[in-house]
Each structure stands twice: as structure tokens, then as C-alpha cells.
Structure 1
């Protein structure tokens, strides 16, 4: 009996190709196994640290939560690293802010490499502000600077978690309710602090506080145009608008605004307050914004008496 000859199609190049494919599959399975090894917690990924704060409050010790961006990163110009993309792919869920440009670009890569990964849009149900940024609609992406928006973001997170992990629904529900009460109290506190400041204006280089201003009846005067650097002529117009608005304070964004912006604030004879809106403890920054506006409003009222 003669043996069947080996197919001449199985060349050396084909053998190497098959071997590489098998190796990649084995590595992928090893990575997946390591990410869910016994005793380790599954991972959830969010875009920014304020989201991590909300999600940590809900999931407790059930999950590890990882934020893609650091507090010093610019979410509007951020380009995800290979490492951060691999982290997303290994997550059980990815919670996107829903309004940040780089997320849209990243979604294509995520869908291609991890077609089964569930992506949660935290902006669902939030009325977006238009006109402050470039693009077809100019939606303002900084939804997390509004406590009222944050409550809806937390609700979207909770709903996705219960759908993904129904066995822990009672655990998530108890923690979500505590978080919602905490945020409702923060909103009441901010409302009380700013009660006598309705209509007050503040200056900021980048229009990051649109939703905060909307919630509490304040006026934001941004020196950028559509979220981009202003030309000399546009800057003159913005400074003229700021002068007419009679602002009470100039907010400096830590890690983003240059020394030139600080000098500009001094030339306007405005007190400056440094804030960091991407911090994990984002609530502290919102309180700092409110207290700064209230303090300057009170000082100005005292001088006018």
C-alpha cells in the first residue's frame, strides 16, 4: 500500500504562517486566562477619572476599574496607546463618556479586535450643550462637570452593570442608591453656595464649565473660539466680551493653561483659581469653583455698598 503524498501546497511559507497563527491564538487564550485567573477581579474600563469615581462607588470590591486618561491628559487631543487599547480589550465592559472625539476613533479599533465587548455610552439621556466646540454640532464634551449630568451617567453605569451581572443586582442597587443620594446632596450644596450669584460671570480659556454654568445660572466667558485657539482679532473680541460681562474670577486649568494665560488673567485684574476637572476627586473641584464665584461675588457686593 502506498502512502498518500504530502500536498505540495503546504510549502515552508505556509507552515510558518500556520504556526504563527496558532501561536497568536495560544497567546490570546493565555492573556484571557490570566486576566480572569482564580482570585483575580474582572476589569472595567472608563475613559476618565471622574467616571472611575462614579463606577468605583457602584461596583465596590466586585471589579477593578481602570481609567484610560490621567488627570493631566487632554481628552480632546488624546491618542490611545497600544497598552491602553489592550486594557480595554481585556475588560468586561467599556464605559465611554460618549462625547469625546477620540472615543469615536477608538471604537472602530475596539469593534475590530474585540467584537464581543459591550460599550456603554454614559452620555445617554443627557441634554448636550451645543455651540461651544468645533464640529458639525459643536457639542460640549465636558458632561461630567455637572452633578446633574453625573447622576445620569451613574444611572447608565448601574443599568449596564445589572444587565451584565444580574446576580449582584442587590449589591449594585444599594451602592448606586447611596451614590445618587451623595450626588443629590452635592447638587443642593452647590445650589445653596451660588444662590446669590445668579448671572455672575467667570473667565476660562477653554470652555470646560458650560454645564456647570448652565446648572447654576452663571455665565461662562471662554477665550477660545469653538474650543480652539483664538486668532489675535478673535482674542480682542473675546476680551471685549469678558470686559462687558464683568467677570468675578478667572479659572486656570492645571496642566493645560500656560504661563501666558496666567499673565493674561493678571492683566485683567482678576483673581485666579486653579482647578483640575479631570481629577478623581472631581467633586472637590466643583466645590472650589462654586466657592470661588461666591466669595468674589460677596467681595464685589461689599465694595459696592
Structure 2
């Protein structure tokens, strides 16, 4: 009996040391940049989980059992809306939790088409635009009010602060990039289409829509376009972009800059892109 009493006392003590002992409710998103955005809205009231890890490859992502359990047990799942694996995740979860709220974070965005295959395919990299992130943040805030009406005032206040930050960031980028309007930059994978549109720049993708080898004729044509464009910066994704990227740049001679489109620190990655383009040559 004394042993049982001791176990109970220790358990209570551990529970007390851990705080309230109540886990935060969870909301699941698809990608790390979404996690960053949503955390600006919910603060520390929710545990926000992303299916794809920071710096991962969304195009080759296959959800694990643990990932699916995370979605199933969440208060809501917020999709990007145009990521290949998302519909498969929703279909699987609907079988076990048909009442799970699913929200599209990218609704209302003016999509770019034709960069990832045929002219009807939507470019999924919507978060590469500050203007788009402003829309996504507003969508997420409205969705969280549906999930948790009791915290609506808190969510709105957080959105207001985050929107002010985004407005300041966008104004700074526009000021710095205006002298470069009409100029070109290089990428291997077309992941900065929305960024280019926002600031009047031209993105030249040397590789294809997928992180795979491209045909020699196609690569030769892309290299010639790059050399004729005067582009001096080549953005690459370390450990993901094809080995052809290096050999192509040997013939172009652009400055190689590594960035991580799927990094959690979305703002830092945007700064990397803008700083590289505006650096003195």
C-alpha cells in the first residue's frame, strides 16, 4: 500500500512540475512556411505542426502514419491548396474523422499557371510573395475564429500586428528592387514565380518543374536564354536541385546563392533572395 501511495505522490509531483498538465490543442498545416504564418496568428495558444519538415521536399513527400495521426487528432487541417499530397491526406483522414475542418490557406490568391507542366497547372509556391502571405494570414485568422471563437479578439490583434510587419517588409522590398525592375534572375526549380511577379522581375528556370534531370536540348536552350538575359544571380536549393544545376552554371557564370523555399523561417529566406539581388556587383 505504501508503494502505491508513493507512486501516486510522485505522479502528482511530476504533473505539477510540468505546468497545468494539459496539452495544447493542435492544428496541422502542410508546409513549414504555413506553420510560421499560423504561429503569428495563434501565438502560444496552439501547437502548430507541419507535415513536411523544414527544408524538405514537398513534391516527393509521402505522409507517414504518425503524420496522418497528427492530422486526424487536430482541431483543423490547413492546406496550401495546390500541393500534390494534400488531397491524398484529406481522403485518408476523411475515412476516420469525417468531421475534421479542412481549410484552404491560398483561397483568393491570383494564381500563376504554366510554370509546373501544362498551362492549366497552378504554381504551388504561393508563399514566395509577401502579398500572398498577407492573404493567407487573413484566411488563417478567419479559419481560426471558426475553430476557436473564444479567442477571436486575440487572433485579430495578432493578425493586425503581423499585417503591419508584412506591409513594412513589402515596402522595403519594393524600394530596394525598383531599380531592378525588368531584370532577370535564375533558378533551377521555378519556385519564385510569385516573387518575380510582385516586383516586376523575370524568373528563368533552368530545370523543370520537378527536381529531375532535364534533356540536353532543353538545358542547352535554357542556358542560352540565361546568358542572353544578363542574369547574375542563380538561386539553388542545396541537396535537392539536380547536379545539372552546377554544370549549367559553369557555362553561365552567375553568382550561386543557396536558399530554402520550405524553410520555417520564411522571412529570413525572403531576405536572402532580396539581399542577393540587390547586393553590389
TM-score (ref. length: structure 2): 0.88
Deviations 1:56-105 (A, max 9, x none): 11111211101110123211221111110111000001011111111122
Q: 1:236 aligns with which of 197, 201, 220?
A: 220
Q: Would you say 1:130 and 2:113 are equivalent positions?
A: yes
Counterpart in 1 of 2:5?
none
Q: CA RMSD in A?
A: 1.6
Separation in structure 2 between the aligned mates of residue 258 and residue 39 of structure 1, nearest angstrom: 46
Are residues 230 and 259 of structure 1, via their aligned partners in 2, closer, same or farther at CA, if it must alter by over 3 Å?
closer
- Answer yes or no: is the 8 Å Cα contact 2:184–2:204 preserved in 1: yes
Counterpart in 2 of 1:114?
97
Q: 2:236 aligns with which of 252, 256, 280?
A: 252
Separation in structure 1 between the aligned mates of residue 219 and residue 247 of structure 2, nearest angstrom: 15
Q: CA deviation at 1:135?
A: 5.3
- Answer yes or no: is the 8 Å Cα contact 2:55–2:261 preserved in 1: no
Separation in structure 1 between the aligned mates of residue 87 and residue 207 of structure 2, nearest angstrom: 23
Instruction: Give the secondary structure class of the aligned counterpart of 1:273.
Output: strand
- Answer yes or no: is the 8 Å Cα contact 1:203–1:250 preserved in 2: yes
Deviations 1:164-207 (A, max 9, x none): 21111111111111011111111111111212100111111100
Instruction: Give the secondary structure class of the aligned counterpart of 1:101.
Output: coil
Q: 1:79 aligns with which of 41, 62, 79?
A: 62
Which has the greater radius of gyration?
1
Q: Would you say 1:178 and 2:178 are equivalent positions?
A: no
Unmatched tracts of structure 2, length 5 or more:
1-19
Aligned residue-pair number: 261
Separation in structure 1 between the aligned mates of residue 264 and residue 197 of structure 2, nearest angstrom: 23
Deviations 1:126-183 (A, max 9, x none): 0110000025712100001111100111111000011121111111111111011111
Q: CA deviation at 1:208?
A: 0.4
Separation in structure 2 between the aligned mates of residue 182 and residue 276 of structure 1, nearest angstrom: 21
Please, which moves more after superposition, 267-276 or 134-143? 134-143
Separation in structure 2 between the aligned mates of residue 231 and residue 105 of structure 1, nearest angstrom: 30
Separation in structure 2 between the aligned mates of residue 72 and residue 170 of structure 1, nearest angstrom: 33
Q: CA deviation at 1:266?
A: 3.1
Separation in structure 2 between the aligned mates of residue 258 and residue 203 of structure 1, nearest angstrom: 14
- Answer yes or no: is the 8 Å Cα contact 2:189–2:209 preserved in 1: no
Counterpart in 2 of 1:214?
197
Q: Would you say 1:285 and 2:276 are equivalent positions?
A: no
Are residues 280 and 72 of structure 1, via their aligned partners in 2, closer, same or farther at CA, if it must alter by over 3 Å?
closer
Separation in structure 2 between the aligned mates of residue 182 and residue 56 of structure 1, nearest angstrom: 14
Separation in structure 1 between the aligned mates of residue 252 and residue 97 of structure 2, nearest angstrom: 51
Q: Would you say 1:93 and 2:76 are equivalent positions?
A: yes
Instruction: Give the secondary structure class of the aligned counterpart of 2:24.
Output: coil
TM-score (ref. length: structure 1): 0.82
Counterpart in 2 of 1:10?
none
Separation in structure 1 between the aligned mates of residue 196 and residue 35 of structure 2, nearest angstrom: 23
